[in-house]
Amino acid sequence: MRTVQTSDYRMPLLYAAMALALIMVGFFQSWTVALAIFNLCMISAIMALGVNIQWGYAGLFNVGIMGFAALGGVAAVLVSMPPVPEAWAVGWQGLALAALMLLLTIAAAIMLRRSYKGRGRNLLTAVIIIAGYFAIRYFADPATDAIEAVNPTSEGYLGGLGMPIILSWMVGGLFAAGAAYLIGRVALGLRSDYLAIATLGISEIILSILKNENWLTRGVKNVTGIPRPLPNELALQRSEWFADLAVRFDVPVTVMSSIAVRGGFAIIFIIVLVLIMILCERALNSPWGRMMRAIRDNRDSAAAMGKDITGRHLQVFVLGSAVVGIAGAMLVTLDGQFTPTTYIPLRYTFLIWVMVIVGGSGNNFGAVLGGFVIWFVWVQAEPAGLWLMQMITTTFEFGPAMRAHLVDSAAHLRMLLMGAILLTVMRFSPRGLIPEKTAAKPLR
Amino acid sequence: MSFLIGEGMTGGYGGADILHDCTISVEKGEVAVIVGPNGAGKSTAMKAIFGMLQMREGVVRLGERDITGMTPQERVRAGMGFVPQTGNVFRTLTVQENLEMGAFIRDDDFSETMEQVFSLFPVLAEKRRQPAGELSGGQRQQVAVGRALMTKPDVLMLDEPTAGVSPIVMDDLFDKIIDVANTGIAILMVEQNARQALAIADKGYVLVQGRNRFTDTGEALLANPEVRRSFLGG
Amino acid sequence: MEDILNALVVLANFVIIPSLAYGAQLALGALGVTLIYAVLRFANFAHGDLMAFGTMTVILLTWFFQAQGIGLGPLPTALLALPFGIIAAVLLAMGTDRVVYRFYRKKRSAPVTFVIASVGVMFIYNALTRIFIGTSDIRFEDGERFIIRAGEFREWTGLAEGLALRSSQVHTLVIAVVVVIALFWFLQKTRTGKAMRAYSDNEDLALLSGINPGRVVLITWVIAAALATIAGTLYGLDKSFRPFNYFMLLLPIFASAVVGGIGQPFGAIAGGFIVAFSEVSVTYAYRRFLSHIMPEEWMPDGLVQLLSTDYKFAVSFIILVLVLLVRPNGIFKGRVI
């Protein structure tokens, strides 16, 4: 195995530069901003890590990251929010019957396909599924209507389990893994581009469910006030010891509290990232990881050696998606709210891809760095673009309408920047900032 | 001075050399056949002559011209036709469209050439509106040869034209190839079915490990006991 | 009898005519995707944003023409601007190919590299469109809006239900038919069209036959960009223009191309209509339709809607999955991707 000489000093240098950039933000903007960026960098890094498991280890092109992240987010709601007893009271019977119908439909369809192999098999299956669908709707519709009618301005859904939110990170991972298993069973047997189209579609389906099934997620009405694993800022500000601490550091207590909370999140996130990173690195350097890369680099010869390629791909697809799900749950925890409309593919799918490609596909440290760098650029590009447009509009003579238009369009400059970064890195440094250690094939 | 000659060809696909000072030539109206065991570099020699392989040493001349530096596309324009072993027809295009694509580089009226191809391969005239992918193996080879003839080449190179077809179809194809040679075209082909191919060959080359081992008329090679024992199975 | 006629009018008005128009729009988009797949061998993720870019140019020019008082009378001004929009989109696509894709083509990169590059291109197109025209919803249809108005229809026929036929729907169908016929004539009858098919079928043999790959690729982009702009403009006239919606159209367009058999132009058209009809008919509320043919006491409660309209993108994808499970190459046996 050939090692890349340059990466020996390159990696610490790049990480140091990234740290320096964040510290500069601390000095020149503010420490709360720096910590806020850092926390989202961490989440981006974990998502990028999940995608890198799929792409870097196995060459799977998943463009459904948004869907898995959203599934993680919904886990945060369903685990941590307090249950709504009235909603359960009015809806549980209907939902239970609907669930029963669902099980019956699946059982009937499977039974039919096992016992009857003759003509019209697909048609009969379709008939069973359609009949089952109406049966489910028959019981579910009144129940969901009733649930959604319970105190609709603040509740109108079943609520969660009222359990600690940290637990939801694992549940989020499981949700995403489960979805990935189902998708993988259908899509992984077929080749390359199809997985991309399939995952893009699935993530949109997941999102449309989360947006429309109000009884489960409140849909577009959002879920706010999700519990945190840390005390909130107000509580800190009121406590005496904290106020003393703020005086000692000579910062306003409000600033101190938000630094404390964000710093707390940062510490938890670092722990999670380190744990996932250790597992990823061990997996990558295990016989399993070597086999994955062998399959990625030469699918045909690996198949000839009797490796179960689809099976391996399914494993890696499920694992990577689970990591994305964990990050999705962490994101909702950090935000304290679940807002399905904020999930758009550019931000939650394609931006993550830019991170992975820029960071260095196949290298976990690269993916993490990519997450940091790209999120940092993404966040800082907006004020920079605004500043640029203001410079332009003050330097040149524009009518007020044109000026307003240009200033408005500043927000889109960062899209341009992201596209340019992605294409430039692909073209001139296809192995990314921190290339994969082994002599594998980069993006060709 | 031969019409087409690859002289002293040495080279390979980047790694170790496959051809070692190998020389192949063919005259107009003549059938030359390259035979030899698996891995002898038969197809490689063919590709070297057609410019699909970078040679380290050696020259290829067509007529009086040195064409060593030409790309395959340029060689087609210079009068060479090539029928690859696999993927040699456009499967989704009709027979007639395949022939039209063969004539793609021609700006003049090629309907006469097409009629000649159809008279050479009457079955293609019948099936001219059928997609080539729907034809039988032997018919597909005829399409492939017909496509290559559309540029009115001086030399036609065939890479294992009878691979995977039945013995009856093979005989039929060889007959057609002789017909083509009789129109004054030089034919150079690589063949696995060495015995049958040498039977129709004016000239035969036996290659072993990228080197010329025997070169003689087809008849003489068939009569040579050493060739018979080592390469024709007794 | 009259009940059945009324029911049919409802169905035509809310399902059949809208699906036909939408299907034609999808088919034009899917034709572009499928041609790019056939020749360049990758699924172009920037296609929706290429549609948006072309349509944006059409809208900007429409506004310009309107300000100059130039119009087409009863026809929408956008049709006058369409050729210019096509030129802009074609130039953009050709420039993109020159700057981005050609490099990977020369290196003979893996298809997935092209797909990722198309993601980068998507970001850039996306930004360009939004910088020029913003993100809001824009209606740019002018001229005569209706060919048949619902009220007039009721007067003529004496039926209780009205049938409205919007100009945009008729324009879509007429233009789509003309464009598709022209495209198929080009692909089947012209030397260049045949060369394109030959290149798509067998690249190596095409090169051997002296077909110039650069030219084939260029023409593919010209056609794909033109189709994208036409599809986008027709969709915008029929509904409205919003960059994000055009990005989202990628999904039904991909579904149409794959369902029909990717790389197969006929498949793209069939796929477009299959996806459109399923999307509309699954999300349509049949209550009004049923009210004409069902006795009142049998009428179910609710809208009698299979799926809420919000699930329309899900529908196209479910069809995609079903087709791939039952017939993985699509209806017209496209390439296995």
pLDDT, tens digit, 9 for 90 and up, residues C289-329:
888 887 877 777 777 788 887 788 788 888 887 777 777 67
Q: Report whether A62 contacts A317 (CB < 8 A).
A: yes
What residues does A61 pair with on adjacent strands? none
C 286-325 residues with CB < 8 A to A: 302, 306, 308, 310-311, 313-314, 316-318, 320-321, 324-325
Q: Write down the domain spans for chain A.
A: 7-83+159-428, 84-158
pLDDT, tens digit, 9 for 90 and up, residues C250-294:
989 999 998 888 888 989 999 999 999 999 998 888 888 888 887
Q: Quick one: pLDDT band at residue A66, thresholds 50, 70, 90? A: very high
pLDDT, tens digit, 9 for 90 and up, residues C55-90:
999 999 999 999 999 888 889 999 999 999 999 999
Please answer yes or no on whether B73 and C191 come within 8 Å at the CB atom: no
How many percent of chain A have pLDDT more than 70?
A: 96
The answer to whether C204 contacts chain B (CB < 8 Å) is yes
Q: Where are the alpha helices (DSSP H) in A213-252?
A: 214-217, 233-238, 240-249
Q: Quick one: pLDDT band at residue A191, thresholds 50, 70, 90? A: low
Q: For residue A257, how far is the Cα from the chain centroid?
A: 28
Nearest to A409 among C103, C130, C316 (CB): C130
* CATH class held by domain B1-79+154-234: alpha beta
CA distance C255 to chain A (A): 8
Q: Quick one: pLDDT band at residue A170, thresholds 50, 70, 90? A: very high
Q: Stretch A432-438: mean pLDDT, rounded?
A: 80
ipTM of the complex: 0.91
Asked if pLDDT for residue A39 goes beyond 90, the answer is: yes
Asked if pLDDT for residue A4 goes beyond 50, the answer is: no
pLDDT, tens digit, 9 for 90 and up, residues A200-242:
888 988 998 999 888 888 888 888 888 888 887 777 878 888 8
Asked if pLDDT for residue A63 goes beyond 60, the answer is: yes
Q: Quick one: pLDDT band at residue A2, thresholds 50, 70, 90? A: very low
Q: Report whether A414 contacts A347 (CB < 8 A).
A: no
pLDDT, tens digit, 9 for 90 and up, residues C13-46:
999 999 999 999 999 999 999 999 999 999 999 9
Best-predicted range by mean pLDDT among A153-162, A397-406, B201-210, C294-303? B201-210
The answer to whether A248 contacts chain C (CB < 8 Å) is no
Q: Look-up: residue for tokens 């690195």?
A: A281
Contacting subunits of C (3+ beta carbon pairs below 8 A):
A, B
Q: Quick one: pLDDT band at residue B31, thresholds 50, 70, 90? A: very high
SS3 per-residue string spanning chain C: CHHHHHHHHHHHHHHHHHHHHHHHHHHHHHHHHHHHHHHHCCCCCCHHHHHHHHHHHHHHHHHHHHHHCCCECCECHHHHHHHHHHHHHHHHHHHHHHHHHHHHHHCCCCHHHHHHHHHHHHHHHHHHHHHHHCCCCECCCCCCCEEECHHHHHHHHCCCCCCCEEHHHHHHHHHHHHHHHHHHHHHHHCHHHHHHHHHHHCHHHHHHCCCCHHHHHHHHHHHHHHHHHHHHHHHHHHCCECHHHHHHCHHHHHHHHHHHCCCCHHHHHHHHHHHHHHHHHHHCECHHHHHHHCCHHHCCCCCCECCCHHHHHHHHHHHHHHHHHHCCCCCCCCCCC
Amino acid (1-letter code) at residue B135 = L
CA distance to A145, B51, C118, C119, C182, per residue, from C56 (Å)? 41, 48, 20, 20, 25
Supply φ then ψ for residue B166, to 5 degrees: -75, 160
Q: Write down the domain spans for chain C.
A: 2-326
Which of B144 and A411 is assigned the larger pLDDT? B144
What gap in Å lies between CA C180 and CA A384, rounded to an integer?
Answer: 46
Asked if pLDDT for residue A293 goes beyond 70, the answer is: yes
> What CATH number is given for A7-83+159-428 in this structure?
1.10.3470
Please answer yes or no on whether C191 and B104 come within 8 Å at the CB atom: yes
CA distance A255 to chain C (A): 35
* pLDDT number for residue C327: 73
CA distance A261 to chain C (A): 34
* pLDDT number for residue A438: 60
Q: Stretch A255-262: mean pLDDT, rounded?
A: 86
**C64, two tokens:** 């310009």
Q: Where are the alpha helices (DSSP H) in A239-252?
A: 240-249
* pLDDT number for residue A5: 47
How many percent of chain B have pLDDT more than 70?
A: 99
> What CATH number is given for C2-326 in this structure?
1.10.3470
* Contacting residues of A for C115, CB less than 8 Å apart: 61, 192-193, 196
What gap in Å lies between CA A377 and CA B222, rounded to an integer?
Answer: 75
What residues does B24 pair with on adjacent strands? B6
Q: Give one DSSP letter per residue of A413-438, joined into a string.
A: HHHHHHHHHHHHHHHH-TT-SS--SS
Contacting subunits of B (3+ beta carbon pairs below 8 A):
C
Which of A173 and A396 is assigned the larger pLDDT? A173
* pLDDT number for residue A201: 86
pLDDT, tens digit, 9 for 90 and up, residues A384-393:
888 888 888 7
* Contacting residues of C for B100, CB less than 8 Å apart: 191, 194
pLDDT, tens digit, 9 for 90 and up, residues A136-156:
988 888 888 888 888 888 888
Q: Stretch A332-353: mean pLDDT, rounded?
A: 92
Cβ-in-10-Å burial (0-12, 13-18, 19+) of A17 comes to exposed
Please answer yes or no on whether C121 and A419 come within 8 Å at the CB atom: yes
Supply φ then ψ for residue A30, to 5 degrees: -165, 160
Q: Look-up: residue for tokens 């999307």?
A: C279
Please answer yes or no on whether C113 and A426 come within 8 Å at the CB atom: yes
Chains C and A touch (3+ CB pairs under 8 A): yes
* pLDDT number for residue C336: 44
Q: Look-up: residue for tokens 């009205």?
A: C162
* Contacting residues of C for A201, CB less than 8 Å apart: 251, 254-255, 313, 316-317, 320-321
Nearest residue of C to residue B105, measured between CA atoms: C210
What average pLDDT does the structure give for chain C? Answer: 90
Q: Stretch B77-99: mean pLDDT, rounded?
A: 92
Amino acid (1-letter code) at residue B170 = M
Nearest to B93 among C201, C204, C210 (CB): C201
* pLDDT number for residue A74: 94
Please answer yes or no on whether A422 and C244 come within 8 Å at the CB atom: no
Asked if pLDDT for residue A378 goes beyond 70, the answer is: yes
* pLDDT number for residue B234: 61
* pLDDT number for residue A15: 92
Asked if pLDDT for residue A195 goes beyond 90, the answer is: no
Please answer yes or no on whether C195 and B87 come within 8 Å at the CB atom: no
Nearest to A201 among C132, C320, C325 (CB): C320
Asked if pLDDT for residue A174 goes beyond 60, the answer is: yes
Please answer yes or no on whether B84 and C202 come within 8 Å at the CB atom: no
Q: Report whether C141 contacts C58 (CB < 8 A).
A: no
What gap in Å lies between CA A183 and CA A60, rounded to an integer?
Answer: 13
Pairing of strands B155-159, B186-190: parallel
E strands in B38-185: 55-62, 65-66, 80-83, 155-159
pLDDT, tens digit, 9 for 90 and up, residues C170-219:
999 999 999 999 999 999 999 999 999 999 999 999 998 989 999 999 99
What gap in Å lies between CA C268 and CA C35, rounded to an integer?
Answer: 9
Please answer yes or no on whether B101 and C198 come within 8 Å at the CB atom: yes
Please answer yes or no on whether A426 and C254 come within 8 Å at the CB atom: no
Asked if pLDDT for residue A7 goes beyond 80, the answer is: no
Nearest to C326 among A122, A191, A412 (CB): A122
Which of A401 and B151 is assigned the larger pLDDT? B151
Nearest to C43 among A197, A415, A426 (CB): A197
CA distance to A160, A166, A272, A401, C254, per residue, from A79 (Å)? 5, 9, 19, 49, 36
Supply φ then ψ for residue C66, to 5 degrees: -60, -40
